[in-house]
Every structure is written in C-alpha cells, then in structure tokens.
Amino acid sequence: MPVLLAFMQKTCPYCAKARRHLEPLQASAEWGGKALMREIDVDGTTEMRDFEGRLTTPRDFARAQGIRMVPTVMVFDDHGHRAGEPIVGLPTEDFYGFYVVRALEAGYAQAAGVLH
C-alpha cells in the first residue's frame, strides 16, 4: 500500500487549495482503501515516528525529506522508498488531482513490486 504524505503549513493559502483536492481523494472508493494518506505540518513539534520507527518531529521529518516549499506531496512505497517525483507547490490547480492520482498509481505499482 503506498503512503502519500502531504507536507503543509496551517497558514499557507496554497496548502488549503491542495487540501481541497486531497480530502475527496482520501474519501474516494478508488483510493480510500488503497493508500495511506497523511498530512505533515512542517512546523509541527509533536512526536511522530518515521518510516524506520524512530521518534522525530514533523518539522525534522520534513527537513530530512528535503522539503523546502509547501505544499509538497510525496508518495512512498510500503517500505518508505520514494515512488516517483514529488509534487512541489500547486503547479496547475486544474490538473492537481490528476498529478496526485498519477503519483499514487506509481506508488501503488512500486509497492506491488511492478516498479523496482
């Protein structure tokens, strides 16, 4: 199962626009049960676990992933390996959902062993 991480900030207006595309996707019958989708607050300081099970903070995890701009969406396979290129910013809002689905498809294929 691929993991979609959306790196966001609470005060970012572009993140709010990205959320409008991501939330329905998470609730959809097509992707709701096929992918784990989580939002990472790049300013967050509460503890979380990374893919290796180590304690970290959302802020440190975002830095470790090289996040420099929000929103950034990254898809990982079930082992924590990146699947495809990250979606940085809000390239074209009209096609944003398409880009996210394409990234999820690449993650799903990689997690299923199709792309290694």
Segments making up each domain of the chain, as ranges: 3-111
Is residue 58 a contact partner of residue 46, using CB atoms and an 8 Å limit?
yes
Which of these, 18, 19, 20, lies nearest to 91 by C-alpha position? 18
Q: Model pTM? A: 0.88
Give me the architecture of the 3-111 domain, per CATH: 3-Layer(aba) Sandwich (3.40)
Is residue 60 a contact partner of residue 73, using CB atoms and an 8 Å limit?
no
pLDDT tens-place values along the chain, 116 residues long: 889 999 999 999 999 999 998 988 888 878 777 888 999 999 999 999 999 999 999 999 999 999 999 999 999 987 888 988 899 999 888 899 899 988 888 888 877 775 44
Q: Give, in order, the Cα–Cα distances in Å from 116 to each of 1, 2, 87.
A: 15, 14, 21
